[in-house]
A and B are shown apart, each in its own frame.
Chain A
Amino acid sequence: MNSQVPLAWLNLTHDRRKLAIAIGGVAFAVILMFQQRGFNDALFESTVAIVRELDCDLILVNSSRFALSNEVRFPTSILQMVASMPGVEMTEPIFVENVAARLRRSTGPARPIRVFGINLEKRVFLDGSQDIRSQASKLRHPNSALMDRLSKSHYGFALGAQDGLPQTGELNGKAIQVVGTFENGCDFANDGNLLMSKESFSSYFGYRALDPLSVADLGIVRVARNQSVLEVAKRLRKAFEKDEVAVLTRQQFIDKEIRFWSQNTPIGPIFMVGVIIGFVVGVIICYQILANDISEHMGEFATLKAMGYTNRYFFAMVIRQAVYLAMLGFIPGLLFSLALFKLNSSLTGLIMRMTLPGAGLILVATLVMCIVSGLLALRKLLTADPASLF
């Protein structure tokens, strides 16, 4: 028992074929935008994925180390001093090898891979990383490692759910056994990731220093429960200001890493251009659809004008139509994008993830896109001349 004729909705939906084309057009633009943003975020996400998994409040790193892939280390002994500072509950080094690790399974060239070495006795990763923590025991065997499921396949390892483990290969010419998998993702600098105990790490990368574990790449710090994280950070910074060690909260570290990649590579701008192109394509498609609908019904709209309908009514009607179109096109666009993300992830090893704020942003962009086209199409409607009806 509607009190008003839902003209906007009915005009949009009554011709099924045209509606399908319209939804297709909007969905296409939505998919374009999602793809661009998805790649953008994935590239940055993969870089810091492992950092998000760390169970820590603060991270220490050499102050000259501008990115995780930049190999500048600091003495592990500093962490021993950190451990004794008030407010520090625990601290552990993390060892990372970016440049000099080469892996292959059997035949073919050995390819670069990133390797993490951690202390198995301590809780380094968050509770949620069941993957890693539950497999810790397997890593006690020397020369064993967990491999990132999303690593590129060119290493030769088969890491699907149905593939059998362990699988043997060669790391820097030395035998290695992949005994389990975890999920991280590839990024600009890495085609794959391995995780092993620090003891194993030491045995593979002896050239780092006389004692390979005497230089650390990252130091994680957990602050005691009743202490302020920022206070402790300030304290540490003051204590070690001469040692060229930067003290960052976990989030600051993540932000810094992402900021580096977004500012020092063209990634941000390139994908932003991509999103804008998707948006413009969407506006053009949407405009065509809405304007076409209006042209075909100029007589009807002119009749409404003759009856006394005002421009305000037409404005509201077109905006309503644009919003419906945006919503109807967004949903299939979103679903297709989810599927595409999975496909992309398996092809590129990047973690393409749909997030709520990300989807929200694209929804807003879609709405704006359709409303802009609606307003452009409205101009045509306003030219409908009732005098021509006689």
Chain B
Amino acid sequence: MDLESLISAWEPHEDALSVDVDHLDHFYGSGDTKKQVLFDNCLKIYPGEIVIMTGPSGSGKTTLLTLIGTLRNVQQGSLRILGHELKGVNQDDSNILRKSIGFIFQAHNLFESLTAFQNVQMSTELQGIPMDTARPKIDALLTRLDLGKRIQYKPKSLSGGQKQRVAVARGLIHQPKLVLADEPTAALDAKSGREVVTIFQELAKEHKSTILIVTHDDRILDVADRIVRMEDGYICSNVLVRRNALTCKVLHGFDIFKSLTPQVISNVAEKVKLKRYAAGEVIIQQGDVGEEFFVIGMGEVDIEIDGKQIKQMGQGAFFGEKSLVENQPRSATVRARTQVACFVLSKDAFQSAIESSATFEEELRKAIFTRR
């Protein structure tokens, strides 16, 4: 089960990127006071991803979010959202794009003169959704956020958490393709916060919406597919955590990795790639220079030396280590017998995995020794 989800997590995306940040720079001020706040940001996010952006204040994450949301003009570099280039976009097109975005700001900014229902209606009205369709949707969403009894109340009769939930409803009612949320759960209790992220997950799964959340709330880290960390205007890490976690879990199940610490497994998981082979395909050729280490995730392979099959290996078995450790060309040909999926570690990743774990190196040396 895990393996299958993992393999599907490794599937190359068929959809176009929903957010494509390409060498983006941004500056505040002009002339003498010009200050660079974003440095060469690159980020690719696919539809259906839930991304958490984190980092200290001043790291540039909110600036990046405002740029993605068309709320600031792109100065340098490229930024495409939902297929549209934002550099040089005019105000009219910006406004149209904004309708595909759902904003959830930290301050709820509800109109005091409107009821909770009407505040959410401002969103459906803009989208042109007629009231007969909108009314039941708004009622349902507000009820789901535990505001069923407060639908006709005005903000002055709502608590801080309730107001924030109305703002969440307003940002999500139109099932936007891109959700930009700034601390959406900060003012909420655990139950409401969980409900909000559940809605995010449904949007991501059912509507392939992309959810970008800036938050420090570690109660909701578990829903992230990807965590992007920024510091001083740089993207210092961009990890597909979900896939990473799945990979770790699967790798940990293989003997060779069983003894590794979680930190190392995580490093390995981050650097590992999944490659798939059709039945009969050659994975490594005897005599080639060896650059990679393989662990079989799924399927069976034949080991051939000089054309003769000497061994078969299945799930959890590894090969290719000798060439990396001993710097020699491949000693055998490995051919996929069935459809095969392998975890592949590059030479550098392999080296760093060995260096960071004595047990791993030991395990490997033992295996090499016994293989002979």
Q: Residues on A close to B: CB < 8 A?
A: 1-5, 7, 10-11, 13-15, 297, 299-300, 302-304, 306-310, 386-387, 389-390
Contact = CB atoms under 8 A, between A and B. Distances in A.
A212 to B, nearest CB: 74
A390 B62 contact: yes
8 contacts: A3-B125, A303-B109, A307-B103, A307-B123, A308-B98, A310-B95, A389-B71, A390-B71
B95 A5 contact: no
Contact of B109 (A3, A10, A15, A389): A389
Given A5-B121, A5-B125, A306 B113 contact: no
B72 interface: yes
A14 B118 CA distance: 14
A381 to B, nearest CB: 14
B131 interface: yes
Contact of B131 (A3, A15, A308, A309): A3
A390 B181 CA distance: 9
A308 B114 CA distance: 19
Contacts of B122: 5, 7, 304, 307
In the A-B complex, the 3 residue pairs with the closest CB atoms: A308-B98, A14-B113, A10-B113
Interface string B95-132: 11111010101110111111000100111011000110
Contacts of B118: 5, 10
B225 interface: no
B66 A387 contact: yes
A14 B154 CA distance: 10
A327 to B, nearest CB: 18
B113 A11 contact: yes
B230 to A, nearest CB: 14
B69 interface: yes
B182 A390 contact: yes
Using C-beta atoms within 8 Å of the partner chain, give the interface range for chain B: 20 to 34
B65 interface: yes
A297 B108 CA distance: 12
A251 B103 CA distance: 68
Given A299-B107, A300-B109, A307 B131 contact: no
A297 B111 CA distance: 8
A302 B109 contact: yes
B114 A387 contact: no
Given A1-B131, A390-B62, A308 B126 contact: yes
A386 B71 contact: yes
A300 B125 contact: no
Nearest to A303: B109
Contact of A308 (B99, B105, B111): B99
A297 B126 CA distance: 19
B169 to A, nearest CB: 13
A299 B103 CA distance: 13
A2 B121 CA distance: 11
Interface string B122-147: 11011000110000000000000000
Contacts of A302: 109
Given A5-B122, A390-B65, A306 B131 contact: no
